[in-house]
Structure 1
Amino acid sequence: MTTPARITTPFTASSTAAEVLEGHDLSGLRAVVTGASSGLGAESARALVAAGAEVTLAVRDSRAGAVAARAIARSAGTPAPQVAVVDLADRRSVARFVDSWAGPLHLLLANAGVVTGGLERTSDGWELQFATNHLGHFALATGLHRALAEGAAGRGEARIVAVSSTAHMRADVDFDDLHFERRDYDPQIAYAQSKTANSLFAVGATQRWARDGIVANSANPGGVATGLQRNFTRRQKESLAAAEAAGIFTYKTVEQGAATIMVAAVAGELAGSGGHYLDDCQEAYPVPNDADLADHPHGVKAWALDRVRADRLWSVSTALLQA
């Protein structure tokens, strides 16, 4: 069987979100961007608004969201985008947002994320990084499925972008101990597990929803200095510094980091095509699960694209949210 050619675009690691969106008229496109009060989420929202999209900033802190909305309006020369409160670690908060949504949705950008320095749990007892980075977005996407399908029917396609990370290469999803109830807690492994889950979600969503005109892809923005690192432990900071010194990654600006996200959101090369993991504005090359991160900083491990594991994660996530 012939291996499909990897999807490529004209953009590179140094491209910006604005460059990716140049020439795109997104008038009439309705988008939700989580974690949009700062960093990659705010820049992605700003770029979408500047291209004409109607964007809702889904944020945990309404005050920070309002500040971001005003900044986006000044930068884009448009009215301020809408702001809605969504705490992804609280499924009741997610449900309230879903219930309040009316009309079609064309783009869901699952960007929000947390990094913890130690073990933290939600009120449901779930490990916080997995609960926020994966389960909250899973609940949001499945809750908005009907709106996405309506958006696809009216515009020809709806897209979901799940923001993943090179960190996915550190760990698969441990289905036997998702919430670190038996194994020693390592915040780096917990984060890595959640980022693998983000990629697997894109695979699973495309398998189920492509017939509705909905496709999902995951995007690795690369190394970007954002508020996400504020809770890093000393060990995590040292690990990051060592990776930078070894050339595993170089820091990008937030505008450059958002470029790969925008490729997943609008690029024609991905029309009707999902389940891909993007890196530096291209589909990443696959590597075996035992590959060393230092040797393949722009690859994607097999466990992050495995359809069987994607199905299992979907079933497990559904069960957790219905319990």
Structure 2
Amino acid sequence: MSKILEINNLYIDFHLDNGVVQAVRNVNLELEQGETLAIVGESGSGKSVLTKAITKLLPPKIAKIKNGSVNFDGKDLVKLSNSELQNIRGKEISMIFQDPMTALNPTMKIGKQITELLKIHKGKSFTEAKKEAIKTLNSVGVPNAEKRFNYYPHQFSGGQRQRIVIAMALLLDPKIIIADEPTTALDVSVQAKILKLFKELQKDFNTSIIFITHDLGVVANVADKVAVMYAGEIVEYGTVEEIFYNPKHPYTWGLLGSMPHLETDKSVKLASIPGSPPDLMFPPKGDAFARRSNYAMEIDFESAPPTYQFSPTHYTKSWLYHEATPDFVIPDIVKELNKEFKGDLNIKPVLLDQGGELNV
């Protein structure tokens, strides 16, 4: 697969009346052609800010990209003007949001909203646009698309509205679709159908997808790669198999431990991560997760952890893998997950960036 998007050393600040929020800090990510990358983390971890920065959809008066680049199709999107980005938004990179009603005009019939897109961006006649719109609506499973072409958004169910938004995202043949919590507001059965639809679209159109979610169950169903985000940073990255069956960061352990499974006994209490994410107006010194971690050492409160790589696709930021770190007890949940892992559990991590002296 070829690389379609590359984010390098990205920092994003929000300048508010009472101070500066360091919302995204030193993020590096890649997206391959035809790949689904899930970005997962608690609310406030920076997921949506990161992805909105790709096409500069952040509020311009308060949001500033302090450093870094977003390379797409030979261009650094950070350096492009709004007028230059208009040719990329929607046409090359499409967004799908959590609430489809925010993307649909409630006073305009669905058919008109869709055909306007095709007339403006592809120069289609109304007849051509209607034919293509109905075909796309059918492809995403909107029932009786031809008849309901003249319905208003409120005449569709939540799941059907989300399918319409997905259809609108596909109409211009984008290279990347960014889906921001697109199934959160849907019930479980509708959610499953939408997730299945995303997998089919990826296969049929070879579209690259960035899927933002806080639900690891969703990740397991759609993702090829996973980026775990905490306090504005990517703390772990890997294939979906590596993240689910061989997680390395204590935050990832916490997320997996708090996720219910079908076989979970009703009497078993799910794990929870103590505390809450830090205030990024005053980012903590050292490892941002240290104050919530049972594995924190003295060094975690003093120095940012280095990055360790476990495979060509798997790395994490943690002092736990420093050669001088004492042996630690791996959580039971990780031991259980490891039983199903097909990779090499004993691979020695490679230090990617240098940290300080370890003091435990």
Tell whether the structures are fold-level matches, with TM greater than 0.5.
no
Richer in strand (by share):
2
TM range (shorter): 0.3 to 0.5
Q: Bigger radius of gyration, 1 or 2?
A: 2
Q: Which has the higher contact order (CA 8 A, sep 6+)?
A: 1
TM-score (norm 2): 0.32
TM-score (norm 1): 0.35
